[in-house]
Structure 1
Amino acid sequence: MLRRGTVGRRFTILYAAGFLGSGVVLLVLTYLMSGVRLSAPAPGNVPAPPASGSSDLAAAQQQIQGLQRQLAEVHAQEAHRWVMASVLALLVMAGLSLLLGRLLARRVLRPLRLVTAATRRISAENLHERLAVTGPADEVKELADTVDGLLERLEASFVAQRRFVGNASHELRTPLATIRASLDVAVAKPEPAAQTLALAGRVRTELDRVDHLLDGFLLLARAQHGDVSDRTLVSLGELARDALGGRASDIAAKGLAVDTEVRPAAWTRGSAVLLSRMVQNVVDNAIAHNEEGGWIRVAADSEGSGARLVVETGGPVLEQDRVDRLGQPFERLGAARTGSEGSSGLGLSIVAAIVAAHGGGLVLLARPEGGLRVAVTLPSAAPENDAVRTGVRA
């Protein structure tokens, strides 16, 4: 079935209009030719009989007029039947034109549908695949070859980007480790100066932030490239419990009230490491950007064909248009959110990339009462048996 507004539909209408127009022209020409024949001149006048036969002449003229009327009636009936037959033929031709136009449109667009289907199957994980369309050197093959060239350039770009991220992280970690070792040596000296100790503490703090930033870059690059090869069965509920347990001290330090509603049915399939980091980032965001004595609500359940994780926090009223940009790297809501000055700005962007790599959806909503609502939905997966439970401790 051709969808509304597609090229196939337009081709069908075009072909049908061409066939139907040709049929109308043919019928009009046939009608004109038939009209010429029907209006052809009558035979010559019958010579007048002698005067003595005037009575016979009147009778003959009446008979001729009667025959002419009958002939006119026959012509009118034939014209009416011809018009009705022409209308019926046009209706049949219209139906056949649509059917033939649809068949031709499907036949013409079949190579394009194959190219489209093959292109959709190719993603960041299999950029090495090509369309490799065979056949005559026509426009369709030229399009497929162009797409293959584009895929080749994309593959080279992705490989170069991954190599750069890996090399850059390795090269940056080496001097950071050297700086950290130098600090340890300076602090380990007998009776170090108080100024040296203070400076070492500040430098260590900045080094930890740089390490954290590098980890975020690597994880973001991996998620954006769809590198989810280590898929396993994961429970979002257990990951949420682990994340909250790992930040229990920070929650207590801020005096946050935590309300959890975690159901065991929130199962999905994906990378346990990436999904664990996703849940940790959502929970970390809820803790770091919260008010003293605030609250956090965490819910994990299964809804329809999706496993869902929802984390809500209280706080001031936020602008939705600014909240929508939090899924982009280095986007923050500013100093209005507590602790935002110490954030790398990669937390929710990493969450968005991981969710997209697993075929899920992320919704960031500014609560009308104040605060933020983060909802993650992933494709659900049922465990093989009740004993299967996967959680990642971090």
Structure 2
Amino acid sequence: MGMLRDGTVGRRFTIMYAAGFLGSGLVLLVLTYVMSGVRVSAPASANAPAPSSSGSSDLAAAHQQVRVLQGQLAEVHARQEHRLVVASLLALVVTAGLSLLLGRLLAGRVLRPLRLITAATRRITAENLHERLAVTGPADEVKELADTVDGLLERLEASFAAQRRFVGNASHELRTPLATIRASLDVAVAKPEPAAQTLALAGRVRTELDRVDRLLDGFLLLARAQHGAFADRTLVSLGGLARAALGDRAAGIASKGLAVDTEVRPAAWTRGSAVLLSRMVQNVVDNAIAHNEERGWIRVATDSDGSGARLVVETGGQVLDQSRVDRLGQPFERLGVARTGSEGSSGLGLSIVAAIVSAHGGSLVLLARPEGGLRVAVTLPSAAPENEAVRTGVRA
């Protein structure tokens, strides 16, 4: 049984039970002491017949002996009363200790179902809303509370599922009018000798359409990652995905004059959706490039040990506020104009990373480096390849 914290219901129950036990013991001791104090009084010497002046010395000696015996009896009674008082005090102290112990045991027994409900509720998050407390037992207040929590979880699960379906369906439905607009622009530009204003307008509209396309792609990927059900789970090398992402973005890295330091180990294997994990690594690398300073640096490292397979991407730059960095895993969270990068940024990059990591049972740590810049660390459950021929995500 865990320690009862100050101010908890368990502490109050312990005090209540202990007070009840201690009060009962105190009443019992008082009654015992009162009943033990009833005794037969010794006959008074005044009632004895007065010896005659001619009484013998034996009678006087007998009276003297009686008085001595009465004194000894009184002394014995006094010692007995003293021992009874001492024993009563010791019994009271022992009763107080036992009362606290019994009170704590009973409080723990009474609150044990509530602790189980609390622990089970804490384990349930947005990714496993399908789990239920499913408390069994008599139909008492505790089971009623558990059933109420299960009903709330059921409603939350339905709400989350409806939200994800809406995002996915809306993203799919919006692609049709966007494709129509893009086709109309192509037709207008393809006409003989289009006006300069038409060409300028078409260019601006295409730029905005590209942004909307990226935003819809982000919504779809975020909805899929949050759903967490992948039919394409396979062995994936984080090292291979990191090398592929850096190679595909070599032009963007060169255009900003970024220095790249890599420590990529191919042993960083994990199991999951190759498509989503590839997008996760790409988003982390894109974030490091887009939100970096000119002629800055990027450090990319992957490794694996008993704690899992890790991907770490660090960048330099200005000193950031950790409280604001902690919110970058939420959709559309940015660190101001200095770190929003290009206008094409959707603000979903790291939120998609967070959703993919969570869906794969991993952890994401965003740390503002004391020297300036950002450190992104992804840890996923490691998996050993069955044979060296399995190389998903590795580029030669």
Which of 139, 144, 147 is the matching residue for 2:146? Answer: 144
Q: How does 1:272-287 map to 2 (within 5 A)?
A: 272-287=274-289
Q: Hey, what's the Cα distance between the residues in 2 that align with 1:175 and 1:182? A: 10
Aligned-partner residue type, residue 286 of structure 1: A
* Matching residue of 1:71: 73
Q: Measure how far apart 1:124 and its partner are.
A: 4.1
2:3 counterpart letter in structure 1? R
Instruction: Indicate how the Cα distance of structure 1 residues 118 and 367 shifts in structure 2: closer, same or farther if over 3 A, else same.
Output: closer
Q: Choose which of 321, 324, 327 in structure 2 pairs with 1:325.
A: 327
Q: Which residue number in structure 1 is paired with residue 199 of structure 2?
A: 197
Specify the SS of the correspondent of 2:314: strand
1:245: which partner in 2?
A: 247
Aligned in 2, Cα 1:266/1:62: closer, same or farther, shift over 3 Å? farther
Provide the TM-score with structure 1 as the length reference.
Answer: 0.86
Partner of 1:335: 337
What SS does the aligned partner of 2:339 have? Answer: coil
Matched, 1:43 2:43: yes
| Maintained 8 Å contact 1:134/1:141 | yes
Q: Quote the offset at 1:268 in angstroms.
A: 3.1
| Secondary structure in 1 matching 2:375 | strand
Q: Match of 2:52, as an amino acid?
A: P
CA distance in 1, matches of 2:132, 2:322: 42
How many angstroms does 1:259 deviate by?
A: 0.4
2:380 corresponds in structure 1 to: 378
Contact 2:239-2:268 at 8 Å conserved across structures: yes
CA shift, 1:328, in A, is 2.6
Q: Secondary structure at the match of 1:293?
A: coil
Q: Which residue in 2 is equivalent to 1:165? A: 167
- What amino acid is the match of 1:2? G
- Tell me if structure 2 keeps the 8 A contact 1:127–1:152: yes
1:202 alignment partner AA? R
Q: Secondary structure at the match of 1:239?
A: helix
| Alpha-carbon spacing, 1:392–1:8, altered in 2? closer, same or farther (3 Å) | farther
Q: Secondary structure at the match of 1:53?
A: coil
Partner of 2:363: 361
**Unpaired runs of at least 5, structure 2:** none
What is the TM-score with the length of structure 2 in the denominator? Answer: 0.85
1:31-180, aligned counterparts within 5 Å? Answer: 31-35=33-37, 37-38=38-39, 41-45=41-45, 46-47=47-48, 48-53=50-55, 55-56=57-58, 58-87=60-89, 89-90=91-92, 93-94=95-96, 96-116=98-118, 118-119=120-121, 122-124=124-126, 127-128=129-130, 130-180=132-182
Displacement of 1:181 in angstroms is 1.5
User: Is 1:297–1:311's contact at 8 Å kept on the other side of the alignment?
Assistant: yes
- Partners in 2 of 1:390 and 1:79 — Cα distance? 89
Cα pair 2:334 2:340 within 8 Å, conserved: no
| Equivalent residue, structure 2, for 1:306 | 308
Count of residues in correspondence between the two structures: 391
Instruction: Check if 1:2 corresponds to 2:2.
Output: yes
Gaps spanning 5+ residues in structure 1: where? none
2:215 aligns with: 213
Aligned residue identity for 1:185: V
Q: Aligned partners of 1:278 and 1:210: how far apart in 2?
A: 20
Letter in 1 for 2:276: L
| Corresponding letter in the other structure for 2:331 | P
Q: What's the C-alpha RMSD, in Å, of the aligned pairs? A: 3.0
**Cα distance change, pair 101–267 in 1 and its aligned pair in 2 (3 A):** farther
Aligned-pair distance for 1:19? 1.9
Is the 8 Å Cα contact of residues 258 and 295 (structure 2) preserved in structure 1?
yes
Once the 2 structures are TM-superposed, how far is the Cα of residue 212 of structure 1 from its aligned partner? Answer: 0.6
Asked whether the equivalents of residues 335 and 341 of structure 1 are also in contact (C-alpha less than 8 Å), the reply is no
Amino acid at match of 2:252: D
Shift of 1:353: 2.8
Letter of the 2:43 counterpart: P
Q: Contact 2:42/2:70 (CA < 8 Å) preserved in 1?
A: no
Q: How has the CA–CA distance of structure 1 residues 302 and 13 changed in structure 2, closer, same or farther, with 3 Å as cutoff?
A: farther
**2:380 alignment partner, SS class:** strand
SS in 2 for 1:336: helix
Q: Which whole-Å deviations, capped at 9, do the CAs of 1:188-225 have from their partners, x for residues lacking one? A: 33443444333322222211110111121222334345
- The DSSP-based 3-state class of the residue aligned with 1:330 is coil
Residues 231 and 41 (structure 1 numbering): CA distance in 2 closer, same or farther, change over 3 Å? farther
What does the per-residue CA deviation read over 1:111-148, in whole Å, with 9 as the maximum and x for residues that have no partner? 33453455456554554554454544421122122112
Task: Determine what percentage of the aligned residue pairs are the same residue.
Answer: 86
Post-superposition Cα deviations, 1:286-326, rounded to whole Å, max 9, x if no partner, equal 10112222211111123551332221112233333433332
CA distance in 2, matches of 1:27, 1:242: 83
Instruction: State the secondary structure of the residue aligned to 2:337.
Output: coil
- Equivalent position SS for 2:338: coil
- The residue identity in structure 2 corresponding to 1:25 is V
Could you say which residue in structure 1 is the equivalent of 2:265? Answer: 263
